[in-house]
Chains A and B, each alone.
Chain A
Amino acid sequence: MTDIDTTVVEQTLRIAARPETVWQYWTDPQLIRDWWGAADLDPRPGGTCRIESASGGVMRGEFLELVPYERIVFSFGWEPTDGAPPIPPGSTRVEVSLVAHEGDTVVTVRHTIPADQAELHRSGWAAHLPLLAAAAGR
């Protein structure tokens, strides 16, 4: 849980609703408003994901992967407003999985602060990646 470049937070929750319903609550701007905030969502790879929560923080990232009713991946950060955590827009990654179970949906959220592989390559560290991966236990 406190690895440098792997999972920071993982949570699982069972919801008494079908995956189709839960999916809509992640991808429909009118519905995400009911639990997160006013949203500007373009749910396709590369599409915008911007959510203004009631507390004032603005989350901004982009959708990376969508498998209808099963999986949503998006990048996650906050716009630099007063009191916002210093995680820049798009700098962390959230993976959401929806699994049907006896008519309910098991929702798992995995939020990671990932190591930036591209940055590692640019700075000449590609040769060390296998070592790093071993050290990180992956």
Chain B
Amino acid sequence: MDDALRAVADPTRREILRLVRDGEVAAGELARHFPSISRPAVSQHLRVLADAGLVAVRPDGNRRLYRWRPEGLRDVAAFLDELWTDNLARLKAAAEQREWP
């Protein structure tokens, strides 16, 4: 869960996710979308995304193709979902007790 949260907290990585959401994109092509970022830095972002399970990668000849794994974000959603379930249950109890003491 921590890995996925860290991965999506970065704007460059969110842009990469958007670029790969509709299909496979080669690493080199992704790097060309970020002219102000060095190639190794883009590779590092891709590694973080892959380690977090947010993208899948497969080799194709001498290229590496990346695609989005939507299921990778489910842990983040599950964590926030649990946080709000707990919080809102306590809010409900507190507010109702004040309204109907």
Residues of A within 8 A of B (CB): 1-5, 8-9, 11, 13, 15-18, 21-22, 25, 31, 34-36, 85-88, 91, 105, 107, 109, 111, 113, 115-116, 119-120, 123-125, 132, 135-136
Closest B residue to A9 by beta carbon equals: B80
Asked if B84 and A109 make an inter-chain contact with CB atoms under 8 angstroms apart, the answer reads: yes
Query: Least Cβ distance of A82 to chain B in Å?
Result: 12
Q: Give the chain A neighbours of B35 by CB distance below 8 A.
A: 124
A/B interface sample: 20 pairs, CB < 8 A:
A3-B70, A4-B17, A4-B18, A4-B21, A8-B80, A9-B77, A11-B85, A15-B95, A15-B96, A18-B99, A21-B95, A22-B91, A31-B98, A35-B94, A36-B91, A109-B84, A111-B80, A115-B11, A116-B14, A123-B36
Among B74-89, those with CB < 8 Å from A are 74, 76-77, 79-81, 84-85, 87-89
Among B13-50, those with CB < 8 Å from A are 14-15, 17-18, 21-22, 34-36
Asked if B87 and A8 make an inter-chain contact with CB atoms under 8 angstroms apart, the answer reads: no
Asked if B15 and A111 make an inter-chain contact with CB atoms under 8 angstroms apart, the answer reads: no
With A86-B9, A116-B14 as contacts: A2 and B22 at CB distance below 8 Å? no
Q: Give the chain A neighbours of B18 by CB distance below 8 A.
A: 4-5, 115, 132, 135-136
Q: For chain B, what secondary structure do more than half of its interface residues adopt (helix, strand, loop), or is it mixed?
A: helix
Instruction: Please classify how large the interface on chain B is, using the bins under 10, 10 to 19, 20 to 34, 35 or more.
Output: 35 or more
Give the docked Cα–Cα distance between A2 and B75 (Å): 10
Asked if A16 and B99 make an inter-chain contact with CB atoms under 8 angstroms apart, the answer reads: yes
Asked if B21 and A16 make an inter-chain contact with CB atoms under 8 angstroms apart, the answer reads: no
